[in-house]
Amino acid sequence: MSFDALLWLSFGGPEGPEDVRPFLENVVRGRGVPPERLDEVEAHYQHFGGVSPINRLNLEAIDAVRARGFELPIYFGNRNWHPMVEDTVAQMKADGVRRALVFPTSAYGGYSACRQYDEDIVRALAAVPDGPELVKLRQFFDHPLFISSFADGVRAAAAGLSGPYRVVFTAHSVPVSADKAAGPPSEGGYRYSRQVVEASRLVAAELGITEYDVVWQSRSGPPQIPWLEPDIVDHIDALHAKGVTGVVVCPIGFVSDHLEVVWDLDTEARDRAAELGMEFARAATPNGDPRFAELVVELVAEHTSGAPARKLSSFTAAGCTVNGAPCAPLCCEPAKRPVKA
C-alpha cells in the first residue's frame, strides 16, 4: 500500500514549570481526579524542574529512524501536550498528506495502552475535516528487537552490582476492571497483563533465568478500586524480608523514560532499596537503543512492502486500526463511569 507519512503519536509531557498543571489537567480530563492528587503529582514533576524527558526522547528516537534512511516524512503529535495531535494532523493535511501510518509509543494492548490511542486519532480527525486516513501500527511487545533491547538493558544494569540480585519486571498498573476488559470479549480479557507477563518471560528466557517477578507501579486511583498488584515498592519490602540483597528493575511496560520511570523507579523504588540496604539497578528503556529505530522501520515495512511480522509469541497480532476504529468488536472497551444523579 502507498503511504505519504508516519505520525509518531505519544503521551506528551511538560517542558517547564508553568506547563505542569495544564498538562496534568489534560491527562485527567473527564476523570474526576481531585485537585489534591494533582498537587501531589505536580510536586513530582517540579522535583525535576517541571520537565519530563519524554518529548526530547521521542524526538531523538524520530531522528534515529530518519538516520536509517527512512523515506517517509515523520510528524510528531501528543495526546496531552504540545505538539498536540490535532495540530499535527492539521499540518499533515496542509502538507498534502492523504494516507499515513501511525506509530503509538506503547507496545501493549488494553484501553490505556492501545484503545486510547485510537481515541486520539478519532479526536484529531474530528478536529480536521477531510484529514488523512490514519492507519495505526500493531502492538509490538513480542518483537525480537524489543525483547533483545530490554535483555541487554538488564545485563548492563546488573553489571554494576557487586552481589546476587533478583530481576523484577514492572509495568504501569491499571484498574483490574480495565485489565479484565482488555482485548475482545471472545479472548477472555486480561490482554494487557498477559502481554506484560509474556514480554517478561521472553526477556527472562533471553537472559537464561527462570526466577524473576512481574510487578506493577504508578497506580493513581482511589484505594477502594482494585488495581493490578503488587506495587514495586511493596515488592522491594517483600524481597528484603526474604533476604534478597540486590534487585535489577526492568521497566518492561515503558518504551522510554518519563516521570513514571524517573520518579517511581529511579527515585521512590531506589530510595526504598537504599533504606533497606539493598543494591538497586534499573535497566534502560529501549527507545535510546538503535534497535528501537529498526523496530519502527520493520513495523512500517509490514504495510509498505509486505514484510513478514516478526513475533516471538503466539499472541494474535493486534492493535492495527484505521481512523481509530477498534481492531476487533468491543475490543478494550473503556470503563463506563457512573452517572451522577
Q: Which residues pair with 316 in a beta bridge?
A: none
Which residues touch 23 (CB under 8 Å, ≥6 apart)?
Answer: 12, 13, 14, 80, 81
CA distance 215 to 169: 6
C-alpha cell at position 197: 507477563
The one-letter amino acid at 95: D
Helices 144-158 and 290-304 cross at an angle (nearest 10°) of 170
235 in a known ligand binding site: no
119 in a known ligand binding site: no
260 in a known ligand binding site: yes
Give the total residue count for the chain: 341
Give the containing element (helix H, strand E) for 230. Answer: none
192 in a known ligand binding site: no
Indicate the SS3 state at residue 150.
helix
Query: Largest Cα–Cα distance in the chain?
Result: 61
CA distance 34 to 45: 17
How many alpha carbons fall within 13 Å on the CB side of residue 275? 9
CA distance 82 to 91: 13
Positions at the binding site: 52, 117, 172, 260
Positions at the binding site for Fe-coproporphyrin III: 52, 117
Positions at the binding site for Fe(2+): 172, 260
